Structure 1
Amino acid sequence: MDQKGVNTVCIHTGELEDKEFKGVISPLYMSTSYAFEDVDVKRYPRYFNTPNQEALCKKLAALEHAEAAMIFGSGMAAISTGLMTFLQAGDHIVLQQTLYGGTYNFVATQLEKYGIGYSFTSGWAVEDFEKEIKPNTKVIYIETPSNPLLTITNLREVSNLARQRGILTMIDNTFASPVNQNPIDFGIDVVLHSATKYMGGHSDICAGVIASSEENMEKVFQTAICFGGSLSDYTVWLLERSIKTMGIRVNAQNENAMKMAMYLSSNKDVENVYYPGLESHNDHNLAKSQMKGYGGMLTFELNSDIDVSLFFKSLKLIKPAMSLAGVESTVSSPVHTSHALMSPEDRIKQGINSSQVRFSLGIEEIEDLVTDIEQAIAKVKSATVPA
């Protein structure tokens, strides 16, 4: 495959030609009803084959070094469709312990209804996955870097283990984005994204992606047309526009996150910082070997004497918000947002606690972000000092 540079792919691959007016961007086709006679393709939005859908999927496949891709109405639509494509009654799936809370909730509340068994690993080393494999295991599901503690799973080792056992591998690649990590290059079979995040990048699009081989994507298609998780063509068009700048946005976010991680690591009011770009991170060398950049996400824990809720309220520039990966910097509490659907016991198993702040770095000047962190901490500390 002739692999072009990531920015070239983001801008040009899969674009639609404006044959009538010769505009430089893809035209938008809003129709939900197309001709069925004397046409090569019978197009219908729920069949993921309108002109804008097809064009965007070519771009997404190229970004993930995949043969094919499909776009969905949300990240969870992609995840649930993917899981239900490759699992059926009597099957078993092994899942990484550190997962996005929505995925965890889907597995814990839905799979047993369909007679599908599941096991969560005790860690994220390849030995942890091997211990959970059963004779009927059909899928291994991973997430790296993980949400919210940025653990790193060895892509090559997990894919080799799965291949030896005839097991399909799936990964949530949202936190890395295709700019920083391409799991298919390491042998992973199916790549999933919440395109709401780095692909959209402006906090105004909700979408999901699955990318894999032509053979696997044909199976996904047969499930997807039944579940109806397609995306409106206007949103598809907006997403294609947003992806054009993904490379430069993500690189700027990588840079900001590295600088912020280093600053927070030296801040006496911060207990822990989780960021794979730091040499102190347990998985730093592994991340360095399989990532092109360390991402725009980090998590930190404030000292126990600092009220996290008051810290959020004291921020002036950085926005407390539920989602992530926009050009604006945001913070959230995993306990109250991304992992709220998990039980307190399950959160403890994953190492998630109420003092943690998940930080999505935007593209603002790092000095302004540091200033905002410092004034917020100072305000909280002054408010809690006894009179």
Structure 2
Amino acid sequence: MANANQGIDTRLIHAGEPEKRICGAVSLPVFQSSTFAYAGHPGYDELKYIRMNNTPNHEVLHRKLAALENTEAALVTASGMAAISTTLLALFSPGDHILVQNCLYGGTQDFIVSDFVPLGFQFDFIDAEDPSSWAARLKPNTRGLYVETITNPLLRVGDLKALAEFAAANGLIAMIDNTFATPVNFRPAEWGYDICLHSCTKYLNGHSDIVAGAVAGKGHLLKKIAHKLIHLGGSLDPHACFLLHRGMKTLALRVRHQNRSALAIAETLAAHPAVARVNYPGLPGRPGYDRARELLEGFGGMVSFELKGGLAAAERFMQRVKIPIVAPSLGGVETLVTRPATTSHAGMSARERQAAGITDSLIRLSVGIEDTRDLRQDFEQALNG
């Protein structure tokens, strides 16, 4: 059993595991049972049942995730959007107002604008890099703050320390999507955030074979979210729990390689005459670079960029690369390229994308664990063609 003083590599392997191995099995078995014998559980939420998200496969993940993020509690969900939507619906009531970063994952933004608001909730966008502008957006009914550690797809890092302090000073629940950074590179609770969210489909699982989400944070808030999740039915299947559990054990190895490889590729792209702009928090001179260095232990495996030839050049590049797969999603062992305007942010209108700085020609790159030299050579031949 791991403890809080051990490194994250050790906690990934041992945190949350049964103290006595089940029948001696080194790997936790899949408990593919919807129903468990009644054992005097004190309340409805404690009944053992897959929808209650409390089978042995769930509980090991909950303990492991809490240990990784240094939070009081954690839970897994059926998808990243299940984690996000359930959290917002559990913690806020119609009439409440939240502050939202002005460039989010398209699914999150679409949920807030298209689903959250019609239910009676309110929001205002804020510039996470401009602390002087936040107070003007406060209202008497403001209850929460929602941001991303590294934004999707422009890879901006807001003033995360100041955001958490602002939320605390104004009695707001501070929520942050930590998918792009992972707990290897950033642990929001250590900076004052109340709730940390993940699409486990991405880096935490890392193998492009499940859809899952997670919420970690303060215990009293997690109780509310867990209860709402039971009613909404967004529980994770035990076999998906097993795959996520297995994938997480290599998280630190994968992410550290992806950190190094993405930085090298971003440098290659930035030096190429065909490239107009590269978005990567680890590039010196980029807006927010000093802040990213202070906050992050690694800059992540995501890069986005634009070519001087616009949309035609972007499509030609994606046709010419040989190693990456042209596909949505991210965070797996294989390198993926996509245009966010057609995938992750397709749910936003063209006007909304333009306002957020997401052009039709923007290319988003999820760096895998292939040989960095091979990827750089492949990108160079695609750009030179």
For the superposition of Structure 1 and Structure 2, which TM-score range results when normalised by the shorter chain? over 0.9
Letter in 1 for 2:89: M
> Is residue 2:377 matched to residue 1:377?
no
Question: Matched residues in 2 for 1:106 and 1:117: separation?
Answer: 12
> Is residue 2:126 matched to residue 1:115?
no
Deviation (angstroms), 1:85: 1.1
**In the alignment, is the contact (CA less than 8 A) between 1:86 and 1:138 conserved in 2?**
no
> Is residue 2:354 matched to residue 1:348?
yes
Deviation (angstroms), 1:125: 2.2
- What corresponds to 1:25 in structure 2? 27
Question: Matched residues in 1 for 2:22 and 2:68: separation?
Answer: 28
- What corresponds to 1:318 in structure 2? 324
SS in 2 for 1:242: helix
SS in 2 for 1:335: helix
- What corresponds to 2:230 in structure 1? 225
Q: Which of 125, 143, 146 is the matching residue for 1:141? A: 146
- What corresponds to 2:342 in structure 1? 336
Letter in 1 for 2:90: T
In the comparison of the two structures, how many residue pairs are matched? 379
- What corresponds to 1:238 in structure 2? 243
Deviation (angstroms), 1:112: 2.2
- What corresponds to 2:313 in structure 1? 307
Q: Return 5+ residue gaps in structure 1 as ranges.
A: 380-387
Deviation (angstroms), 1:190: 0.3
Question: Matched residues in 2 for 1:137 and 1:201: separation?
Answer: 36
SS in 1 for 2:134: helix
- What corresponds to 1:173 in structure 2? 178
Question: Matched residues in 2 for 1:135 and 1:375: separation?
Answer: 56
> Is residue 2:11 matched to residue 1:5?
no
Q: Return 5+ residue gaps in structure 2 as ranges.
A: none
Deviation (angstroms), 1:113: 2.1
**In the alignment, is the contact (CA less than 8 A) between 1:35 and 1:42 conserved in 2?**
no
- What corresponds to 2:73 in structure 1? 68
Q: Per the alignment, do residues 230 and 262 of structure 1 end up closer, same or farther by CA in structure 2, a change over 3 Å counting?
A: same
- What corresponds to 1:252 in structure 2? 257
- What corresponds to 1:150 in structure 2? 155
Per-residue CA shift, 1:299-318, capped at 9, x if unaligned? 11111265212221222111
- What corresponds to 1:382 in structure 2? none
Q: Percent identity?
A: 41
TM-score w.r.t. length of structure 2 = 0.95
> Is residue 2:99 matched to residue 1:94?
yes
**In the alignment, is the contact (CA less than 8 A) between 1:94 and 1:119 conserved in 2?**
yes
Deviation (angstroms), 1:153: 1.3
SS in 2 for 1:69: strand
Higher mean C-alpha deviation, range 131-140 or range 37-46:
37-46
Q: Per the alignment, do residues 19 and 262 of structure 1 end up closer, same or farther by CA in structure 2, a change over 3 Å counting?
A: closer
- What corresponds to 1:278 in structure 2? 283
**In the alignment, is the contact (CA less than 8 A) between 2:255 and 2:300 conserved in 1?**
yes
Deviation (angstroms), 1:107: 0.5
SS in 2 for 1:307: helix
Higher mean C-alpha deviation, range 309-318 or range 251-260:
309-318
> Is residue 2:299 matched to residue 1:297?
no
Per-residue CA shift, 1:294-350, capped at 9, x if unaligned? 000111111126521222122211111100011111111011111111111111111
SS in 2 for 1:257: helix
Letter in 1 for 2:137: E
Deviation (angstroms), 1:197: 0.5
Higher mean C-alpha deviation, range 86-95 or range 126-135:
126-135
Deviation (angstroms), 1:354: 1.7
Deviation (angstroms), 1:146: 0.4
Question: Matched residues in 1 for 2:128 and 2:13: separation?
Answer: 39
Deviation (angstroms), 1:122: 4.4
Question: Matched residues in 1 for 2:40 and 2:366: separation?
Answer: 50
Question: Matched residues in 1 for 2:232 and 2:5: separation?
Answer: 33
Q: Per the alignment, do residues 231 and 38 of structure 1 end up closer, same or farther by CA in structure 2, a change over 3 Å counting?
A: same
**In the alignment, is the contact (CA less than 8 A) between 1:16 and 1:27 conserved in 2?**
no
Higher mean C-alpha deviation, range 178-187 or range 128-137:
128-137
Question: Matched residues in 2 for 1:334 and 1:237: separation?
Answer: 30
Letter in 2 for 1:11: I
Q: Per the alignment, do residues 307 and 20 of structure 1 end up closer, same or farther by CA in structure 2, a change over 3 Å counting?
A: closer
Q: Which of 342, 346, 363 is the matching residue for 1:357? A: 363
SS in 1 for 2:342: coil
Deviation (angstroms), 1:38: 5.0
Question: Matched residues in 2 for 1:10 and 1:238: separation?
Answer: 14
Letter in 2 for 1:272: R
**In the alignment, is the contact (CA less than 8 A) between 2:306 and 2:314 conserved in 1?**
no
Deviation (angstroms), 1:18: 6.6
Letter in 2 for 1:318: P
Deviation (angstroms), 1:20: 5.5
Higher mean C-alpha deviation, range 195-204 or range 109-118:
109-118
Question: Matched residues in 2 for 1:39 and 1:182: separation?
Answer: 33
Question: Matched residues in 2 for 1:243 and 1:37: separation?
Answer: 31
The CA RMSD over aligned residues, in Å, is 1.5
Deviation (angstroms), 1:19: 4.5
- What corresponds to 1:208 in structure 2? 213
